[in-house]
């Protein structure tokens, strides 16, 4: 974290986990100030590879992003039940890899639900992917929405964490200080 004019500038790596496409986005900023996109992309794996090899490819990709961008925190989409159990399993496996990679580096990991992310960036927990992408584009002052949607979703996760994670961290620190003062 960087201190900037009395505020805390935070760099967050957002991860939209997926076995075929794992969206990755890095956002820098602080609550109440304009945010900036540092980088965005997708780690892709081939569907014909064994799952174990695909997970290693995701791990390698995430390690490279963390090494290059040095985030202060990692925000991962919380896996929710879908109708397709196979899709849920792949998403959960990729999510686990993301958490392990971050934890191995000593980075704090936050989980945000899809509706929490939608509400944070668009004002509605029921926003569709196009609305989220449009708001990400606007909030980060981009010329166009990042493609594919996984990349845009990763940026939305990072934005959510800068805004909500910073407040949550301050609250936890205040509670800890109050407990220590007793």
What domain range includes position 125? Answer: 2-181
**CA distances from residue 118 to 47, 110, 129, 152, 158 in whole angstroms, order as listed:** 28, 16, 9, 12, 12
Taking 50 as the threshold, does the pLDDT of residue 66 lie above it?
yes
Q: What is the pLDDT of residue 107?
A: 97
Is there a binding annotation on residue 16? Answer: yes
Round to whole Å and give the CA distance between 149 and 11.
Answer: 21
Alpha-carbon span 141 to 162, nearest angstrom? 16
Residues noted as catalytic = 16, 77, 150
**Given the structure tokens 């205040």, which residue do they identify?**
174
Q: Is the pLDDT of residue 152 over 60?
A: yes
User: Above 80 in pLDDT, residue 166?
Assistant: no
Q: What is the CATH number of the domain that holds 163?
A: 3.30.420.10
pLDDT at 167: 63
User: Looking at per-residue confidence, does 45 or 164 come out higher?
Assistant: 45
Residue 39 annotated in ligand binding: no
- State mean pLDDT over 81-96: 84
Place 2 in a pLDDT band, splitting at 50, 70 and 90: very low
Distance of CA 142 to the CA centre of its chain: 18
% the chain with pLDDT above 90: 76
Q: What is the pLDDT of residue 126?
A: 93
The whole-number pLDDT of residue 79 equals: 85
- How many angstroms from the chain centroid is the CA of residue 67? 16
- Asked if 121 and 136 count as a contact pair (C-beta separation under 8 A), the reply is yes
pLDDT in tens, 110-122: 999 999 999 999 9
Question: Per-residue pLDDT for 175 more than 90?
Answer: no
Ligand-binding site membership of 5 (annotated) = no
Largest CA distance in the chain: 59
The tens digit of pLDDT for each residue in 97-150 reads 999 999 999 999 999 999 999 999 999 999 999 999 999 999 999 999 999 999
Q: How many domains does the chain have?
A: 1
């Amino acid at each position: 974290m960087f201190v900037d004019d009395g505020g805390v500038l935070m760099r967050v790596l957002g991860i939209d986990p997926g076995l075929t496409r794992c969206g990755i986005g890095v956002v820098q900023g602080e609550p109440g100030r304009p945010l900036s996109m540092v980088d965005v992309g997708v780690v892709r794996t081939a569907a014909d590879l064994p799952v174990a090899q695909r997970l290693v490819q995701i791990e390698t990709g995430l390690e490279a992003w963390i090494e290059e961008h040095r985030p202060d925190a990692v925000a991962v989409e919380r896996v929710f039940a879908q109708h397709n159990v196979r899709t849920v399993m792949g998403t959960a496996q990729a999510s686990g890899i993301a958490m392990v990679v971050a934890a191995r580096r000593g980075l704090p990991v936050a989980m945000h639900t899809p509706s929490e992310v939608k509400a944070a960036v668009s004002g509605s927990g029921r926003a569709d992917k196009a609305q989220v992408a449009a708001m990400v584009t606007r909030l980060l002052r981009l010329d166009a929405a990042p493609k594919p949607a996984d990349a845009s979703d990763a940026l939305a996760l990072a934005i959510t964490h800068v805004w909500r994670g910073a407040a949550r961290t301050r609250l936890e620190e205040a509670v800890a200080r109050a407990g220590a003062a007793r």
